[in-house]
C-alpha cells in the first residue's frame, strides 16, 4: 500500500510541486492550504507523514504542530516543517514544537525525497 503524505501549504504552486515530486516516488499526497483544515485532515486521513509550512492562514504551522503532537491520534505522525523561515532560531522553535525535521525553502527536490523517505522508513 502506498504511503500517504499530508501537505499543509498555502502556496498552490509549491504544494502542487511537492505532490508531483512525491508521486514520482509512488507516494500519495493530500493537500490543504489552511492550518485549521490541516489539523482536521491529519485526524481524518491519518497520513504517514505531514509536510507543514509555518506561515499559514487559519492557524500557524507551529500551532498545528503543537496540536498534532498533543493529540493521541496524531502524535506519532512524523511532521517535517517546510518554511522560508530558516534562521537557527526558527529551526529550533519548530523542533521545540515537536517537528521531526525541518526543510528550508526553496528546497532541492532530491532533499525533499531524502527527508520524506527517511521519515517514512523507506
Look at residues 21, 89, 95 and name the one whose alpha carbon lies nearest to residue 52: 95
Per-residue pLDDT, 91: 79
Predicted confidence at residue 39, as pLDDT, reads 94
The pTM score is 0.94
**CB 75, CB 50: distance < 8 Å:** no
pLDDT in tens, 55-104: 998 899 999 999 999 999 999 999 999 988 877 887 788 888 899 999 98
Mean of per-residue pLDDT scores for the chain: 93
The CATH label, of 3.40.50.2300, 3.40.50.300, 3.40.630.30, 3.30.70.1290, for the domain at 4-116 is: 3.40.50.2300
pLDDT at site 12? 95
Cα–Cα distances (Å) from 32 to 7, 14, 60, 90, 107, in that order, read 6, 12, 13, 23, 19
Record the cell numbers describing residue 8, joined without a space: 499543509
Mean pLDDT value of segment 2-27: 96
Residue 33 pLDDT = 96
Q: Quick one: pLDDT at residue 90?
A: 78
Amino acid at each position: 500500500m502506498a504511503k500517504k503524505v499530508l501537505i499543509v501549504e498555502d502556496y498552490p504552486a509549491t504544494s502542487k510541486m511537492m505532490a508531483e515530486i512525491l508521486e514520482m516516488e509512488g507516494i500519495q499526497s493530500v493537500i490543504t492550504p489552511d492550518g485549521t483544515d490541516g489539523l482536521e485532515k491529519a485526524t481524518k486521513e491519518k497520513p504517514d507523514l505531514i509536510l507543514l509550512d509555518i506561515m499559514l492562514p487559519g492557524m500557524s504551522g507551529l500551532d498545528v504542530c503543537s496540536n498534532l503532537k498533543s493529540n493521541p491520534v496524531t502524535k506519532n505522525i512524523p511532521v517535517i516543517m517546510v518554511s522560508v523561515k530558516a534562521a537557527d532560531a526558527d529551526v529550533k522553535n519548530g523542533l521545540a514544537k515537536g517537528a521531526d525535521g525541518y526543510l528550508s525553502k526553496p528546497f532541492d527536490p532530491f532533499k525533499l525525497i531524502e527527508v520524506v523517505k527517511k521519515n517514512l522508513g523507506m
